[in-house]
Amino acid sequence: MPVRCIKCGVTSGRRSNVDYETFICDECKQHEQVVISLYETAKETFLDPSAPIEASDIYEILKQTYFIIQKNPKLSVYAAIVKELLEAFAIQNLTEIDYDELWRRTRSRRNILKVLKSMEDAEILKLESPDRISRVVKPGPVLENFAKVYRVYKAKEQAKTRVASVLTMYAILHELYVLAKLKTKTEIENTFGVHSPKAPWVATMFLWTTRLTKGEEGRHFTEDEFRKFLAKRGLSTTTISNYISALKAINPNSVQQFIENIQPTGNNGVEFIVREDLIRALERIHASRVRENARD
């Protein structure tokens, strides 16, 4: 019987004596470390009220990777909540929002409490229950930091959307961090149920971790390699096509500026070339965290 990785779903038939409950493939083990280092850096940067967050490496990485969640209907609730929170706390200057009101405005069929609790853990917001019956949502330190930037762009819709997309991606990075820390199949099922962040996990594994581990070659990859990597891990053809068309859009106004250039390959496909400064930024963050953790 082939064994399936509990995090990305890739199957491997060549192993014996493995535990189906805890088997994690080597690529996921590397990705866990990258996700943990990026999340810890993001949280530290975004919590610092004196940090010009827009100028940080992690802000740029999250901004350029947002396209992987943009068209995912299962994750659209995160973007909807973030937009409501920024409008309420940065533009309307409210101090709290009623939970039921927020739920109505996000128009989600999903119970958003779990999502809000996850965002609370990432210090985006605070959930309070003043009279034990109703719940209110207040801004956390990370949201306050983003609100400062958002407020500056008050009348510029496109710039505001970009700020919101980075905060949304930070909320997703927190979900990936939670997944990175889990050790068994049962823990993953109990934590996420049917809402495991598998598509962003697999996409960032290819776009961040594989770029880092391949060294100089990491900057180049073909459409075919990307497609196969995602398909092997069970991502749907719709998701894969969405990612590929986003990667191919490299005009100055496109959502992602992750790809710097595209070259045709012989077999009707293309080769993508990743922006060098983004790879260097990933390397810097990862290397500094690895050093820090080694000291602990």
User: In the complex, which residues of this chain contact Zn ion (CB under 5 A)?
Assistant: 5, 7-8, 25, 28
* Residue number with CB closer to Zn ion (13 or 130): 13
* Residue number with CB closer to Zn ion (8 or 79): 8
* Residue number with CB closer to Zn ion (12 or 111): 12
Q: How far is the CB of 6 from Zn ion (least distance, A)?
A: 8
Residue 111 contacts by C-beta under 8 Å, 6 or more apart in sequence?
A: none
Q: How far is the CB of 125 from Zn ion (least distance, A)?
A: 31
**Token pair of 289 as six digits:** 């965290």
* Whole-number Å distance between alpha carbons of 45 and 188: 28
Q: How far is the CB of 26 from Zn ion (least distance, A)?
A: 8
Between strands 136-139 and 125-128, the pairing is antiparallel
* Residue number with CB closer to Zn ion (188 or 273): 188
* Residue number with CB closer to Zn ion (30 or 257): 30
Q: How far is the CB of 3 from Zn ion (least distance, A)?
A: 11
* Residue number with CB closer to Zn ion (163 or 179): 179
Residue 25 contacts by C-beta under 8 Å, 6 or more apart in sequence?
A: 5, 7, 8, 10, 12
Q: How far is the CB of 24 from Zn ion (least distance, A)?
A: 6
Q: How far is the CB of 182 from Zn ion (least distance, A)?
A: 12
* Whole-number Å distance between alpha carbons of 275 and 262: 11
